[in-house]
Homo-oligomer: A and B are copies of this chain.
Amino acid sequence: MPELRKDPILGRWVIIATERAKRPSDFKPEPAPVSRGFCPFCEGNEDKTPPEIRAYRQPGSRGNGPDWRIRVVPNKFPALQIEGDLDNRGDGIYDMMNGIGAHEVIIETPKHEVSLTPLSDGHVAEVLEAYRERLMDLKKDPRLACGMIFKNVGTTAGASLEHTHSQLIVTPIVPKRVVEEMDGAKQFYNFRGRCIFCDMIKQELRSQTRIVVSSDHFVAFEPYAARFPFETWVLPKVHSSHFEDLTEPQRFDLAVVLKRTLGKIEKALQMPPYNYIIHSAPFIEPSMKHFHWHFEIIPRLTKMAGFEWGTGFYINPVPPEAAAQDLRDVR
């Protein structure tokens, strides 16, 4: 019998479709993208991107030249623009705003790697530090409300270049989904006096059935109402609402947990396309007792069909307990 499960934060229901149950090997790996030969993100091609905003470089090296470890550059085709004034207008019953914001690319290594996982733990920790620094910098701009760090891997997941990179979009309004997450968590907090994410972590660690990786500071698990096969969340064990408050010991630990989790997903599903996004409280909010920042990792194995688009109701053919078991089994 299929099961309906409710996401405790958003109130969104998911169908765990036992009649359609799938094993990891049922998901065909995506054909490897044709390497286009030339990569603007590789070392030596620095002049093929817009000038860097920030770089982590060897001492003595020159900006926009070689000898860097991580570069942050503006997106060449930005969804939002940093220059201009905010302008909010109506048009009959409609509302619009001009597209002020930021859209940056974090190039994670000078070498042509297609994943974060071959990088050293220290290097991944520095990537996380780059995320943090860019958020801290953009947070100073009073026009901007919310910063979102995300990663697209594979063409199916929306990546146009294979060289490992992340993106940062900062918006002048708080996106609806972020508002809903805060509101759902707030409601639970008002009722129980506790953070719902902290409660989830406790319950997950107790039952162990959906745990993928657990370390001193972080835990990775399959959420109870996972929308997608092998959807995985990574959360700090100690309550914190803003990713940018990440401490140094947390940073190294997160680098290890993120690499292990992604490595397991890559091995179990043969380098699937995936997205991850950091859900963190908006810039404009102070530290919150009810919200808990986290990564959501979504392997792109199934196709969204009309039903999901129209209803926000997902059909997941892999129970999260089975997915967690498969990921734990990866050595």
Tell me if A283 counts as interface (CB < 8 A to partner B).
no
Q: Contact: A177 with B10, CB < 8 Å?
A: no
Tell me if A284 counts as interface (CB < 8 A to partner B).
no
Given the known A-B contacts A3-B99, A158-B305, A173-B4, are A148 and B310 also in contact in the complex, defined by CB atoms under 8 Å?
A: yes
Q: How many copies does the complex hold?
A: 2
Tell me if A80 counts as interface (CB < 8 A to partner B).
yes
Q: Roughly how many angstroms separate A98 CA and B4 CA in the complex, as a whole number?
A: 6
Tell me if A97 counts as interface (CB < 8 A to partner B).
yes
Tell me if A114 counts as interface (CB < 8 A to partner B).
no
Q: Roughly how many angstroms separate A103 CA and B196 CA in the complex, as a whole number?
A: 33
* A interface secondary structure, majority: mixed
Q: Chain B's nearest CB lies how many Å from the CB of A71?
A: 20
Tell me if A34 counts as interface (CB < 8 A to partner B).
no
Q: Chain B's nearest CB lies how many Å from the CB of A283?
A: 14
Q: Chain B's nearest CB lies how many Å from the CB of A275?
A: 3
Q: Contact: B92 with A176, CB < 8 Å?
A: no
Within 8 A of B (CB), among A172-192: 172-173, 175-178, 180
Q: Contact: B176 with A10, CB < 8 Å?
A: yes
B-contact bits for A133-155, CB 8 A (1 contact / 0 none): 00000000000000010111001
Q: Chain B's nearest CB lies how many Å from the CB of A96?
A: 5
Within 8 A of B (CB), among A273-316: 275-279, 296, 298, 303-307, 309-313, 315
Which residues of A does B touch, CB under 8 Å? Answer: 1-6, 8, 10-13, 15-20, 77-81, 84, 91-99, 148, 150-152, 155-159, 167, 169, 171-173, 175-178, 180, 196, 199-200, 203, 207, 224-225, 275-279, 296, 298, 303-307, 309-313, 315
- A selection of 29 A-B contacts at a CB cut-off of 8 Å is A2-B78, A2-B98, A3-B96, A4-B98, A4-B171, A6-B96, A6-B97, A8-B93, A8-B94, A13-B173, A13-B175, A15-B99, A17-B77, A79-B307, A79-B315, A92-B203, A93-B203, A148-B311, A150-B305, A150-B310, A158-B306, A167-B306, A175-B313, A177-B310, A178-B311, A275-B305, A275-B310, A276-B306, A279-B310
